[in-house]
Every structure is written in C-alpha cells, then in structure tokens.
Amino acid sequence: MCRPASLAEQKQEQTAGLSVQWQDLTVGVGPKRVPVLRNLTGGASAGALTAVLGPSGSGKSTLLGTVSARFPSQLRVLRGSVRYDGEAWDRSRHKRRVAFVEQEDALLKDLTVRQTLTFAAALRGEPDPAARASLMLHELNLDKCADQAIGGANIRREISGGQRRRVSIGHELLLDPGLVLLDEPTSGLDSHAAAKIFRILKDLSTRGVAVLATLHQPTDAMFLGFDSLLLLRDGEASYAGDPQNAVAAIAPKPPPKGMPIADYLMEVICGDDAKQATAREAAATTGTISISEEAGPALPWLSQFIILLKRCFLAHRLDLVDPMLLANMFSVMLLSATLWSGQGSKRPRTETSVRDISGLLFLSPVYWAFQLMILALYTFPADRVVVTKERAAGLYSISAYFLARTSVDTLTIVLMSPLLSLIYYFAAGLRPSEVGWHLLTLFLNSLCAHSAGLCIGAWIMNLKRATTLQTVFMLATMMCGGFYVRGVPVWLKWFGDLSFTRYAYGALLKIEYKGAHYDCAAGRCTVLRESALIDARIRRSSVGADLAVLAGFAVAFRLLAFFGLKRNTH
C-alpha cells in the first residue's frame, strides 16, 4: 500500500520543474487585439523564483495568463512564442503541469479548508487524498483553520484573507505542478502573512519547481530572495535579470534610506528621470529539467462523477435547506390550502367552482416554475470560476461535473414541489384517487422549469441578464400561450407552444375534471367539453401527451444547458 511521504521527506523531494521561455512576445487583448505586451523576451527557470513587478496595468496578469495558456479567447499571441522546456504548448501534456493561482480565489465557500484540499487531492487521483491534504495543511500552516468553512465575502468570513490565499496555493500545489504561476499571491495581506507566502514560494522553487509570481510591494528581504526579476512598464520590459543588479542597471542612484528597493524601482521606471530603461540581462534559462511523462492519468469518468457528487453535496447542501426558501414555499402552499379549502369537494359543481379550482391548478405549476427557474439560474454561475479553473487543469470532464451538480438539485429541489403540494391537495378537496397523477405532473413541470433555469444560467452567466431573460421568456410564452387572451395571432402561436406550464395546467385540469359535470344553463354540462374556461387547445391533447411534452422539454433544456456550460467554462 502507498504510504504518503512525511513532511520531511516531501521537503527533500525534488519535483521535476517545467521551465518556460518567451521570445519576442507581443500579446493583444480584447476583441480588437490591442497589444498590451510588446516584444518581451525572458523566462522562468525550473528551480528558480522569478518575480514580475510593475505598476498597475503594465501587463503582469496578461503575461501570466499568456504563459498559463488558459484564456485563448481573450489573449492572442500576435508575435513571438512561449515554449515549455523548449517545446510549444501541448494541451494534453502541459495543462496538468502548469498551476495558476489567479488574483481572485476560486474556492467553494461552504467547504471547509480540509474538504477543499481533500477533494482537490482526490480529483488528482491521489491514493489517499485525506493524508495528502493533511500534509498540505501542515505544510501551509493551515492546521488551525482546517475544519472551518472557507466563507464567502457576503455570507461568512470564516478564514482570513491570508489563509484563503494559502488554501488557493495549496489547491494548486496538490497537482504537483512543474510550473507555478501566481498573480498577486500577497495582495491585501499584512507583511507577516505575505512573508509566510513568500517562504512557501521560495521553498517550492528550491524543490525544483519553476515559480513565476507577480508581487505587490515586496519587502527588501523578499526582493533579494528572488532568483530573477522582470520589471514591466506599459507592456515592455524595463529590466530582466538578477534582482541584485537591477538598481545599478536602471536607476540613477541608490534608493533613499529606508525606502524598499522594489518601491524605488517602481518609482524609477514610472518617473521621467529614469535612465533609458531597457537594460536587459539575458534571462537565465539554464538548469532546465526535461520532462517526458505527463503529470499522471486522469481519473476514470465514474470516479470523477462520484467525487464531484460528494463535493457538490457538501458545497451546496446549505442552499438546499435555506430557511427563507423553505418558509416561502411552505407559506404559499399553506395560503393555497386556506384560500381553496374545501372548494374542490363542493357538490354540485358550478361554473364558479370550476373557475376557482382552475385558478389553483393554474397557480400551482406557474408558482413552482418561477420559483425553481430562479433557483436554477444560480447553479452554474456560482461555480463557474472554480469549474473553469479546474477544467483548465484537466481535472475532470464537463459531463461528470454537469451530472454531479444537477443530480443533487434535481432530487431535492424538484421533489419539493410534489411533496409540498400535498399541503393544499387534500385541504382543497381535489380528487383523492388522482393524487399520484397530480404530483407526477407537478414533478415534470418542476423538472422542466429547473432544466430551463439551468439552461438560461449556463448560457448567460451574468445573473442580472439571466433573470431578465427568464422573466421575459416565462411571461411572453404564457401570454402567447393563450392564458390571458384567446385571440393570439397565428404567427405568435408557436411561441405560446414553448410555455411548458400550459401543458402542466392542461394535464392538471384533465386529471381533476376527467368525466366531471357541472350545473350549467342547459342543466348538466361536461366540464372538459363545455366549460368556457378550458380552451380548445387544452381540450384536444390527452394527459399522456401533455406529460410527454413536459418530459421532452425537460430533456431538451438539459441538453442545451450542458452545451451552454461546456461553452462557457472553456
């Protein structure tokens, strides 16, 4: 059996580093491909800590993004090349060897620190993920907060900013990368927390890993600990080489007493009195360890799915039992039970009592549709940053994530509507013998609504826009579906056919009024044939056909959601 390496052993263990070199690199961003990096030449060697410093907007993040090869749609190499151990980027070989700790922490807020690292290790295929995570916790000095939740900015802040940054770093290090890119790993941290992170990076580089980091206001101790320095200004290199020689190379005089060297250099490259600031030393490219094998096999699909299913449950379990949500659902159902109490069992039926019960049979699917669609809209946008990042590292396939993420919600949220509808069903005096069909219809209606919400959320990750589209879709299809007006123009009728709640409403009416009569002007009329409330289109289809259409919509929306997610997490 595999025994995890002890901390001491791990410290001595040399990791095969992955050197990166960029040559005459010019990179454009945005749709117009505006160049923000120009003619850059340099690199980050295995076993060295290379720091990138520069004023805000000088292109530090763009350089890291380009080297990570993760944002092909946003960053375009216009000229020059980036090579990894002398080779061009090969997604299948390199993506699992390059770790990228971005400026924003991409962590699931409701997982604890330990769970976060354990799932990362499990997805990496570690034989004993818990032991590996424990070692990492210890190494990053996170033992004390190991069982606290990460916490979100507006929800809970269980761990400090410095601890969050270390969790992000640990998450990436569990990949055993050869090249680690870090965008401002110390920003917003006090000097003690920043020094801790710096020590971790230094330790990593001494193990053989190539470390390339942008750093915010490093202290002199940190500055002199860099193995190599790249100073950027307006996308061009002001200096590249040994940090010890930087002042002599580009500054007119030594830094004033008490002023950190990095701050002084920043002032020099931004100031007008700088020496012509394009002194470059050849970036060190020696000591490259050549890598021939990949970072390890990906897990089989089923294992990915099982791990992700557990993680999705732990990370989102609190969303499912949100007291506000439950109170909302319970109160609407209780109010329905009160307002419609005994209406369905009144005999003989009249046009008025048919109208009242039709109101309930309309309101119920429409309420659940709106409620569940809104819930589903948030599903993918909330995880997008994490999933995009993990997919880029090749940890799992999008189908495994999609199924894992949606099955937990499907089983809980979608089952809520039939279960809670029981609150009004018997109180309103609806047909006891048809309860099963009523609940099945609500289940399929909820499945449809949930799938439609997933679909909109997957394609439009901007929540404001997604909510607007959801409202427009629901109201427009209901209006064209003949709920409020009969004379819908022929050319708009097809749009009304997209109103899945219409099929649910039709099915619920037919289930409740199958063979039922009411007192009318002619004496005795059949509800489903003669009541003015039930329009011809609803009458024409059978319950089976309505349910089949609902199931079809649910499948179609889910497939569309899958493709949307795939597209938006690339």
Stretch of 50-58, 313-321, 482-490, 559-567 lying at the interface with ligand ATP (CB under 6 A): 50-58
Stretch of 51-59, 258-266, 312-320, 477-485 lying at the interface with ligand ATP (CB under 6 A): 51-59
Closest approach, Cβ 270 to ligand ATP, in A, equals 12
Transcribe 232-278 into DSSP letters. EETTEEEEEE-GGGHHHHH-SSPPPTT--HHHHHHHHHHSTT-----
Closest approach, Cβ 62 to ligand ATP, in A, equals 3
The values of phi and psi at residue 457, to 5°, are -65, -30
Stretch of 57-65, 247-255, 400-408, 530-538 lying at the interface with ligand ATP (CB under 6 A): 57-65
Residue 296 backbone zone (phi > 0: left; psi -120 to 50: alpha; other: beta): left
- If binding is defined by CB under 6 A, does position 72 make contact with ligand ATP? no
Nearer to ligand ATP, 217 or 399 (CB): 217
Nearer to ligand ATP, 40 or 111 (CB): 40
- If binding is defined by CB under 6 A, does position 66 make contact with ligand ATP? no
Nearer to ligand ATP, 123 or 265 (CB): 265
Nearer to ligand ATP, 33 or 317 (CB): 33
Token representation of residue 129: 């993920």
CA–CA gap between residue 409 and residue 441 (Å, rounded): 18
Closest approach, Cβ 387 to ligand ATP, in A, equals 20
DSSP state at residue 41: E
Stretch of 13-21, 58-66, 89-97, 482-490 lying at the interface with ligand ATP (CB under 6 A): 58-66
Nearer to ligand ATP, 60 or 124 (CB): 60
Nearer to ligand ATP, 61 or 168 (CB): 61
**Residue from 19, 45, 50, 58 that binds ligand ATP (CB under 6 A)?**
58
Neighbouring residues of 207: CB distance < 8 A, sequence distance ≥ 6: 11, 13, 14, 15, 47
- If binding is defined by CB under 6 A, does position 70 make contact with ligand ATP? no
Angle between helices 301-320 and 113-123 (to 10 degrees): 160
CA–CA gap between residue 396 and residue 123 (Å, rounded): 7
Nearer to ligand ATP, 201 or 416 (CB): 201
Closest approach, Cβ 25 to ligand ATP, in A, equals 13
**Residue from 4, 59, 365, 418 that binds ligand ATP (CB under 6 A)?**
59
- If binding is defined by CB under 6 A, does position 40 make contact with ligand ATP? no
Neighbouring residues of 241: CB distance < 8 A, sequence distance ≥ 6: 228, 229, 249, 280, 281, 282, 283
**Residue from 21, 45, 50, 62 that binds ligand ATP (CB under 6 A)?**
62
Is residue 401 a contact partner of residue 561, using CB atoms and an 8 Å limit?
Answer: no
Closest approach, Cβ 217 to ligand ATP, in A, equals 11
Nearer to ligand ATP, 44 or 329 (CB): 44
- If binding is defined by CB under 6 A, does position 56 make contact with ligand ATP? yes
- If binding is defined by CB under 6 A, does position 74 make contact with ligand ATP? yes
Cβ burial of 157 (10 Å; 0-12, 13-18, 19+) is: middle
Residue written as token pair 């295995």: 46
CA–CA gap between residue 365 and residue 418 (Å, rounded): 10
Residue written as token pair 């009728």: 493
Stretch of 60-68, 108-116, 139-147, 479-487 lying at the interface with ligand ATP (CB under 6 A): 60-68
**Residue from 47, 54, 162, 564 that binds ligand ATP (CB under 6 A)?**
54
Stretch of 54-62, 149-157, 456-464, 477-485 lying at the interface with ligand ATP (CB under 6 A): 54-62
Nearer to ligand ATP, 216 or 310 (CB): 216
- If binding is defined by CB under 6 A, does position 57 make contact with ligand ATP? yes
Is residue 78 a contact partner of residue 256, using CB atoms and an 8 Å limit?
Answer: no
Q: How many residues bind ligand ATP (CB under 6 A)?
A: 12
Closest approach, Cβ 107 to ligand ATP, in A, equals 20
Transcribe 426-476 into DSSP letters. TTTT--GGGHHHHHHHHHHHHHHHHHHHHHHHHH---HHHHHHHHHHHHHH
Stretch of 28-36, 106-114, 296-304, 347-355 lying at the interface with ligand ATP (CB under 6 A): 28-36
DSSP state at residue 4: P
- If binding is defined by CB under 6 A, does position 233 make contact with ligand ATP? no
Q: Taking CA 239 as the corner, what is the angle to CA 238 and CA 243, rounded to the nearest 5 degrees? A: 145
**Residue from 20, 25, 29, 427 that binds ligand ATP (CB under 6 A)?**
29
Q: Is the dihedral of CA 152, 156, 162, 166 positive or negative?
A: negative
The values of phi and psi at residue 30, to 5°, are 70, 175
Stretch of 49-57, 147-155, 246-254, 507-515 lying at the interface with ligand ATP (CB under 6 A): 49-57
Nearer to ligand ATP, 75 or 456 (CB): 75
Residue written as token pair 């970036």: 283
Token representation of residue 321: 């039992």
Neighbouring residues of 5: CB distance < 8 A, sequence distance ≥ 6: 13, 135
CA–CA gap between residue 286 and residue 280 (Å, rounded): 17
Q: Taking CA 447 as the corner, what is the angle to CA 445 and CA 453, rounded to the nearest 5 degrees? A: 105
- If binding is defined by CB under 6 A, does position 61 make contact with ligand ATP? yes
Closest approach, Cβ 213 to ligand ATP, in A, equals 12
- If binding is defined by CB under 6 A, does position 237 make contact with ligand ATP? no
Nearer to ligand ATP, 233 or 438 (CB): 233
Closest approach, Cβ 267 to ligand ATP, in A, equals 16
- If binding is defined by CB under 6 A, does position 60 make contact with ligand ATP? yes
Closest approach, Cβ 457 to ligand ATP, in A, equals 23
**Residue from 9, 13, 24, 30 that binds ligand ATP (CB under 6 A)?**
30
Report the half-sphere exposure of 519 (CA within 13 A, side-chain side).
7
Q: Which residues bind ligand ATP (CB under 6 A)?
A: 29-30, 36, 54, 56-62, 74
